[in-house]
Amino acid sequence: MPDGMMVDYDGLIPNNVGLNQDARLRKALETWHPGYIDWWKQMGPEGFQENLVYLRTAVGVDPKGWAKFDYVRMPEYKWGILLAPAVEDRRIGFGAQKGEPAWQDVPGEYRAMLRRIIVIQGDTEPASVEQQRHLGATAPSLYDMRNLFQVNVEEGRHLWAMVYLLQKYFGRDGREEAEDLLRRRSGSQDSPRMLGAFNEATPDWLSFYMFTFFTDRDGKMQLEALAQSGFDPLSRTCRFMLTEEAHHMFVGETGVARIIERTCQAMRAAGIEDPGDSERVRALGVIDLPAVQRKMNLHFSLTLDLFGAEISTNAANLFNAGLKGRYREDKLTDDHVLRDATYPVLRCIDGAIVSEAAPALSALNMRLRDDYVADCQGGVGRWNKIIEKAGYDFRLTLPHVAFNRHIGEFTALPVDTEGRVLDAANWAARRDAMLPNADDAAYVASLMRPVSARGAYANWIAPPKVGIDNKPGDFEYVRIEE
């Protein structure tokens, strides 16, 4: 068996990192564990801590059989530390030290930079659990409730993954950072989470699906870039996290797809020809497509902010240092050093949006964002297929990247979803047609009533095509005591 395939599943902390042979690390993690459980009980799914939930638990790292499904109470979930198997003779794939052996320990000169990216990634994981903690109470089905909790426990495991790196490789500083990860709170005035999108509310299930589609996908892009890292333990950690992350985006994409499907079905049955007739559509108790579009506009733009400034010395430094690569760096065919390369960057110059060639090293955030947008586009195309099949000529579109931005080139620039720069009055007049408005919020909130009978679904969402773990339609994904 290659290094890292053996999983010790029986201890308090399932792992394939040899915790039993590392007393110092085990002590650090066991000291951190009670605080984590307190955090989970306080900030994890509200009202369902005692219920049995049919969850997937990672029990190995073999791509063909890494998980098992069973009923668990969430506070008893086995949050393990799992690294993808080591690659023999792995080399640094990019940057100034390209070709040298990958680091098995933290290179001293990059210690601060490395710690920072691990903390930033780690901070997003518990944040999303906090953002989603009220949603169990309004789940549209047991199936959806279970998917929410699955995402939540896995984000919890991702926090463990980052805390493992901090405690194993960063000594006392790492232990302090690990404590702070449990101390910050999404949306808090005093100690908010580190990134903007992770301090926003997730008030309803449409937001949840949009969040998992758009914001978990940013997570995927960041993990892909870190999976390329020359710091091998980070690479292996992120590679395993990516196997779980795929399900989160599945939940988002199929959640929105099922909403669209149900809306189209209801419109057809009622003889509605114009999907823009929101009043008639809402009278059917389903979510009108323009409201779906506005939610998309919001979540897409908030998530773009997570990629940081288009032109960034920090991104260049991380790449040069061999710590954070590009999306699928190992599949790219250039020199992986990028000293003389350029990359087109959208900039705001004298109030106009123009494309400009920038040094490729400084433009790495922009590049990752472009890869992200292309990845989003695939899912949006599949959503549109549903609308097309139902015979409506309405199409959902990603807004322009300059729309509704709070970080980078386009910060606070009043731009419409097509990328046209507006004057302030025009922006104010059109805002409610482009971003979720008060009516949308009130209407969607009015739909958020729990449905917890086996095999039943709220009126505004279609059932899934197949069950989780191939379970039948009326499977009891969450045991709700009467």
Instruction: Enumerate binding residues for Fe ion (CB under 5 A).
Output: 125, 155, 158, 216, 219, 245, 248
- CA distances in angstroms from 9 to 4, 5, 53, 223, listed in the order given: 13, 12, 20, 25
Minimum CB distance to Fe ion smaller for 201 or for 453:
201
Minimum CB distance to Fe ion smaller for 26 or for 248:
248
The Cα 230–Cα 100 span in angstroms is: 9
Minimum CB distance to Fe ion smaller for 211 or for 343:
211
Min dist. Cβ of residue 224 to Fe ion (A) = 13
Min dist. Cβ of residue 431 to Fe ion (A) = 30
Minimum CB distance to Fe ion smaller for 106 or for 221:
221
Min dist. Cβ of residue 127 to Fe ion (A) = 10
Min dist. Cβ of residue 429 to Fe ion (A) = 37
Minimum CB distance to Fe ion smaller for 144 or for 245:
245
Minimum CB distance to Fe ion smaller for 138 or for 215:
215
Min dist. Cβ of residue 212 to Fe ion (A) = 7
Minimum CB distance to Fe ion smaller for 243 or for 317:
243
Min dist. Cβ of residue 195 to Fe ion (A) = 13
- Beta carbons of 136 and 48 less than 8 angstroms apart: yes
Minimum CB distance to Fe ion smaller for 61 or for 92:
61
Min dist. Cβ of residue 430 to Fe ion (A) = 33
The Cα 127–Cα 282 span in angstroms is: 32
Min dist. Cβ of residue 300 to Fe ion (A) = 17
